[in-house]
Structure 1
């Protein structure tokens, strides 16, 4: 009887040890699997304070950009009452150049806008990009007449148009921003209504007003 008891107890101890070993192996495997999973990539989004209000920013490529059209002092609104606040306001180059920005921030250059587009896969030929699907990554999902953007970059360019001689802008097919050198960066719907084109214009006439974004180096 004693021998039978000891044998039974030994089998029980062995089974318990095996069960414990299985539990430890399972825990270790799960832990390794969890540790090997890459951390989720969270977009770098913050705010910058300019002209009395906060503007959301996002890191895109090698720069950090404001992702809302400037709506500070001066300039002219889209319409009386400004029923599309996402369009912000429209400024002359002189007004744009006089805006006081926090340290590190600036009015973008043509090169900054080119780098922004290229970070999304846009390819330029002589400062022009035509009919490329990648341009949609920079444009808003709303307000465009026929081509809907995807805004996967977070830049969120709305078709606010521009103002000439303080007239009301014609919106729906052009998103255009001042550059520091007096040219403009323009995203336009093609006449065919099936794609976008990016162009740079020399538009430093005081009769024109365009939207503003700001940028800083990372």
Structure 2
């Protein structure tokens, strides 16, 4: 009689094979989505006793929230939509005590910000630019939410004139260092965002505030 060779039975082989299949995927490192946009790098800065998030965009550092320090006017009672910050006259804006190297942005600062996201200007205006979505918030816009992939997070807080209540939802407007303003707004047809710079005359205007410094 031939000696039989001990071999694993068929059920044992099946179990072993299934065990390998179940454990092997666990050894693989999860792959990142190549199309996923990395989150912007954020830090913080203290301005007039309050801490604000700071986002690095290109060669600039920007406050990523609207200023909400002393003075200014609130949105409605001040309890709704705190992300809108407060609305300041230019005289109030100039009086904000800023840390070293921080400043109220210039027209060129905002153009540099927008161009870093792929926005193309014709003179001092960019019309119907899809890239502007990268600068605006995902919420509060009436028709076209942004992606905020830049981290700048422009809110459609509107503005106030002669102490009128701000009309929000389609305009984000900020003071410039020369007393003019920059506006990011939904187009009239609600199909895109526009960005433009305005000559602002008269002391009655109140806009939001952001601050910038070079890296």
**162, 168, 172: which one pairs with 1:171?**
168
**53, 57, 60: which one pairs with 1:56?**
53
Query: For residues 100 and 150 of structure 1, what CA distance do their matches in structure 2 show?
Result: 32
- Contact 2:40 2:151 survives alignment (8 Å): no
1:58-82 Cα offsets, whole Å, 9 max, x none, are: 1101100000000000000011133
**Structure 2 gap segments, 5+ residues each:** 1-37
- Contact 1:93 1:204 survives alignment (8 Å): no
- Contact 2:66 2:83 survives alignment (8 Å): yes
Higher deviation after alignment, 42-51 or 108-117: 42-51
**182, 192, 202: which one pairs with 2:189?**
192
Kindly report the root-mean-square deviation, in angstroms, between the aligned alpha carbons of the 2 structures: 1.3
Counterpart position of 1:36: none
Question: 1:48-127 maps to which residues of 2 (within 5 A)?
Answer: 48-127=45-124
**Structure 1 gap segments, 5+ residues each:** 1-40
Query: For residues 165 and 55 of structure 1, what CA distance do their matches in structure 2 show?
Result: 28
- Contact 2:119 2:126 survives alignment (8 Å): yes
3-state SS of the aligned residue for 2:108?
Answer: helix
Query: For residues 217 and 196 of structure 1, what CA distance do their matches in structure 2 show?
Result: 26
Q: 1:204 to 1:49 in 2, by over 3 A?
A: farther
Q: 1:103 to 1:175 in 2, by over 3 A?
A: same
Counterpart position of 1:138: 135
- Larger of the two Rg values belongs to structure: 1
Report how many residues are paired.
179
Higher deviation after alignment, 140-149 or 43-52: 43-52
3-state SS of the aligned residue for 1:77?
Answer: coil
Judging by fraction of residues, say which structure has more helix.
1
Q: 1:180 to 1:204 in 2, by over 3 A?
A: farther
Runs of 4+ in 1 over 6 A off after TM superposition: none
3-state SS of the aligned residue for 1:171?
Answer: coil
Q: CA deviation at 1:42?
A: 6.6
Query: For residues 187 and 47 of structure 2, what CA distance do their matches in structure 1 show?
Result: 34
